[in-house]
Structures are given as structure tokens and as C-alpha cells.
Structure 1
Amino acid sequence: MRRLVITFVVLVGLLVVADFGAASIFEYQVSKRARDQFELSDDPSVKVGGFSFLAQALSGEYGHVTIDAKGVPVEDTLRDLEVHIEMRGVQAPLGELVSGSLKEVKIREVEGQVKVKASDVNRALAQVENNFIKAITNVTIDPVSEQDVLTDPDDRTDAEQEAAERAAEAEIEDTTAGTRICATVDLAGDETELCAFGIISLVDGAKMTFAPNRIELTNSVLDGGALSPELDTLIKQALTFTLDPGELPFTVTPNAVTVEPGVLSVKGTATDVVLGGQ
């Protein structure tokens, strides 16, 4: 019985090693093709989901594969993009994989996402031409409901707040999303903590625009008080911007924008994609 147990343990260990080794070969092959297709300077990270890689390899189809690339530059403003790709129904014959003759990888369904970090948003805001706000630093990004963009929760009645909460729960991923972008700015020579509540919108392919709807700021003169209409307009104009992260990978069609802490992103889907094909 002891020998049987030892033999079983050894066999399981060998299978695990073989499974891990085969998965590494597959991930390398996909990473190499993704690097060429995205024109990256480094190989992106590739991970295969599922319990057993070998079982998937024998069938020639892999249920779930992810690709992550970081530090992707787009022109001068966006220098630190992240690309996240979810692939389902990935087809790669085992024989071609082992021999290294794999020419292309067919994918049934792709979900692509390009993430823009707060540091790149800070750079984009600093490049907006205006003579009013200077030295924009410490940009932060947070998701808020679209209702919070329109009205201050502190100014709502209980009934209005309940309605706003119901609307927030019903919100789904779409071509618009509420966000709060805060920063430290030089406002007329006075250091000011500023927060702009606005809508991120998907426009012209994969571009994202931010349009502030209401402003909150605090400095030595103002402490969350009401702004004059002229000052309010000038600040909103200075904080309106457009981000262009370029086309999504695999000719993915953009269909939504999302907001996470510190990140604005555009997402999309595609079907029947070929990676590495001509």
C-alpha cells in the first residue's frame, strides 16, 4: 500500500510538471504573437484558465485565456496604458503547438479593455490650453453615479436620495459613466483642492471625453461655497478634455466606458478573431 501511494504521488507530480510545462509553451507562443500584433517592446503576460491545461490541449481548444500588457505608450500624452484581454474558445492544435509550427490562433470571442491611469489623465489636463488654471497635480479618479454628477447628495431630500440610489443600482456598463476627478491646482495664484463631477463619454471609436457638470473646490478664499457663474464656466472649460487611446486590440468594437479608482477605461468585444494570421 505504501509503494502504491508513493507511485501515485510521483505520477501526480509528473502530470503537474507536464501540465505546467505545456501551459508555459502555449503561453509563450500566444505572448509572442500578441507582442507582434500589438507592436509592443516587451512580451505581454498570458495566462490559461481551467483546471487542466493538458486536457484542454488534447481537445485543441482552451476555454479561457487572458492577456495583460502594461506600460503601453500612445503618442506623447498617454504613456502608461494597460491592455487587458479576455479570450474564450481559443483554438490551437496540440501538434502545431509542440512542434513550434503554430501559425495562427483562432479565437471565438474576445473582450478587450484599455485602461488610462490617473497619471496620464493628469498629463492630458496639464496640456489643455487655458490661462486660468495652472500647475495641475495629484489627480485622482473615482466612480460616482450619474445622478451624483447632476446633483449634490447633501442637497437632496430623502425621497430624492432614495430615487438616486435606485437609479445608481440600475446603472449598467454603457457609453457614458459618472466620475469624480480631483486635483490640486494653482487657481489665480492660490493652491486649491478641486473636484469636478462629470460624465465620461465614448465618442468617435475608442475616444473618451470628460465634461464637468458641477465643481467643488476649497482654498483660502472659498470653502465649498457657491461659485460665480463666470468662475464656474472657466473652471469647467479648463477641465474638459478628450483622451484617445487608439484602436482596441483585435479590431474589438468599443461599446462601453468604465470608471474604477484611479482608472478610466474603454471596453469592447469581437468574435471570430485570428491572432497571428495574415
Structure 2
Amino acid sequence: MTTMTEHPAPRTPPRRRRRTRRLVITLLVVIGLLVAADFGAAAVFEYQVSKRAREQFHLTDDPSVKVQGFSFLVQAISGEYGHVSIDAKGVPVQDTLRDLEVHVDLMGVQAPLGDLLSGSLKQVAVDQVEGQVRVRSSDVARAVQRNENPLISSISNLTIDPISESEALSDPDDRTDEEQAAAERADELEDDDDTKAGAKICATGDIGGEETDFCANGLIELVENAKAKFTPSRLEVNNSVLGSGELPEQFEAGILQMLTVTLDPGELPFTVTPTAVNVEPGVLSVEGKAFDVVLGGSGG
């Protein structure tokens, strides 16, 4: 019988293993340094933009700035950045609007790397700016309460929700088949006009000593000087006395008048021209665009 002898597998020479280990460690160190440099350079750029945005927004604190996209250094070497976003929260405007949110997208930002590293960056040129000012339900509630009505002693739990424009104008349950078909056709065309949108504002109010839940359906429209006006057209009410019924005419007219509010969020940042209004759960917003903008153009 032939006996087979097992030979041990060839072993990697210790010197080669050490070289491989050193190469891996070196690569990891280089990658770590590149990542750290990328984050560090991005932080410098974001600080420079934030400082100028603070001046232009007239804020007390620096807004949040984020460079979008992979690898800041690759963008920095070219001196062009595809997308930079700026966010500021809790921005006060006058006495009523105290908690605005400002969101800005900068597209095609030019900032030379040399000026950035030397700290001599004075101006940041931007191809396109998309700006948005968001008004939260808490600010809308303050605006409503300024429309004092002797029939309504308090307003609480105000909410905002988007609805279709046809629903804002008429109750779907009350439509004939022809009216429903017309409403559906109108809803399909809503996207053609961004200057108005359907909104449903609900709240609880003390009406004639009775706690009443009500919802006003209407349109929020863009009006002059970047203002947004909500005009309710129909009302839904519910309380322990009426159930889901109708209020006396004077009470209903008073609520609709109280909920007719014009919100003035101030000028949009970077001379953005307002072109649209939008409704999201809990938020009304004014939006717009501008082109060929210089951030820090005054030399600040």
C-alpha cells in the first residue's frame, strides 16, 4: 500500500506580509487624511457662505449651510459647486410671524479655491437661487387671533392641510354628477397656476360660550409684495349643541371673516421673485426663483 505524504501549503514570507500590512495601513491613513481634508475644507466654505447669508438675511445667528454632492474637494478644485442649501429657522418678521423657516437652494455656485483658503472670499456668484419662506401653523394662529371678533373669545389647536382647489370652493358631497366631472377637470389643470392652492384650516374656538370645532376650506393666493392671502369660502362646524350642523349666519360670517388673513413673510432672500404658494401639513409657504445672484455683493 502506497502511503501519501501531505505537504504543508506554502507560507507567505514574513517580509511580504509586513509589506502588505504597511501598504494597507498607508492607504488607510491617506484615505483618512483626504476625508478629513474634505470635511475641513467644506467646513471653511460653509462658514464663509453662512456668514454672508446671515448678513443678507439680517439674522442674529448664522444659518445652516450644506454643500450637496460627493467630495467637496473635487468641486473646490474647479471652484464650482453644483448645489448648496441654506436653512434658517425661527426667523421673526414683525410681531405676528415669529417662527418662519427660510430654505434656499443655490445652484451653480462659483467660489475660487484660492480665495476660499486665504480667507479673502468677498463675493459668491450663483447661477440660480430657489428660495422658500415657510409659515408654520403657530404663526397663522397668531395672525388669526389678531382679527378680533367679539363672537369668538379664543382660538386653539389650529391645523393646516392641503386640499384640491375644487374642494376648497365646494363640498364634493353636494355636487351633481356634472359638477363633479367639472371639478375633476379643474383639478387636473391646477398645476398650471402655482399662485394659488387649496387649504383647509381647522381650529377650536369658544363661540357664544360653546366650545366649537370648525374647519374653513378656501384658497391661499399669492398677492402683491410677496404676501399670501387665505380666503375661506365654506365652513364645517361641530359642537355639543349643533353636532355637525350649521351655525347661525352671524356666527358663520364672523368665523369666515376672522380666518381671512394676509400673511406678510417679508421679502424673499436674495431678491428672489415670488412665483408660487404651497400648502403642506402644518405649513403655508411662498416660493420663488432668481438668476445670476451675487451673495455678499455689498462687500460684507
TM-score range, shorter chain: over 0.9
Q: CA RMSD in A?
A: 1.7
Please name the residue that 1:136 is paired with: 155
- Matches of 1:221 and 1:165, distance apart in 2: 35
2:48 counterpart of 1:29: yes
Q: Which residue number corresponds to residue 11 of structure 1?
A: 30
Asked if 1:175 corresponds to 2:183, the answer is no
Secondary structure of 1:272's aligned partner: strand
The aligned residue for residue 172 of structure 2 is 153
1:201 aligned onto 2:205: no
Pairing 1:248–2:268 present = yes
AA in 2 matched with 1:149: A
The answer (yes or no) to whether the contact 2:151–2:251 under 8 Å persists in 1 is no
**Structure 1 partner of 2:297:** 277
- Conservation of the 8 A alpha-carbon contact between 1:253 and 1:270: yes
Q: Say if 1:270 and 1:191 are closer, same or farther in 2 by CA, change over 3 A.
A: same
Matched, 1:107 2:131: no
Give distance in 1, aligned partners of 2:176 and 2:22: 75
Structure-1 separation of matches of 2:239 and 2:254: 17
Partner in structure 2 of residue 184 of structure 1 = 204
In the alignment, the residues of structure 1 paired with residue 174 and residue 22 of structure 2 have an alpha-carbon distance, to the nearest angstrom, of 75
Aligned to 1:215: 235
**CA-to-partner distance for each residue in 1:158-188, whole Å, 9 max, x for gaps?**
7755664564454326111100000110111
Judge conservation of contact 2:204–2:211 (CA < 8 Å) in 1.
Answer: yes
Question: TM-score of the superposition, structure 2-length normalised?
Answer: 0.88
Q: Secondary structure at the match of 2:143?
A: helix
Q: Give the unaligned 5+ runs of structure 2.
A: 1-19
Partner SS state of residue 104, structure 2: strand
How far the C-alpha of 1:238 sits from its partner, in A, is 1.8
After superposing on structure 2, the runs of 4+ consecutive aligned residues of structure 1 that deviate more than 6 Å are none
259, 273, 288: which one aligns with 1:268: 288
Q: Please name the residue that 1:73 is paired with.
A: 92
Partner Cα distance (2:117, 2:258) in 1: 56
Q: For 1:157 and 1:77, locate their aligned partners in 2 and report how far apart those are by CA, in whole Å.
A: 42
Distance 2:176 2:23 in 1: 73
1:235 paired with 2:235, answer no
Is the contact between residue 132 and residue 238 of structure 1 (CA under 8 Å) also seen in structure 2?
A: no
Q: Which residue of 2 aligns with 1:257?
A: 277
Aligned partners of 1:164, 1:107: CA distance in 2, in Å? 42
Structure 1: tracts of 5 or more residues without a match: none
Greater gyration radius: 2
Return the letter of the residue paired with 2:209.
Answer: G
Cα distance in structure 2, aligned partners of 1:159 and 1:18? 65
Is contact 2:237-2:247 (8 Å) kept? no
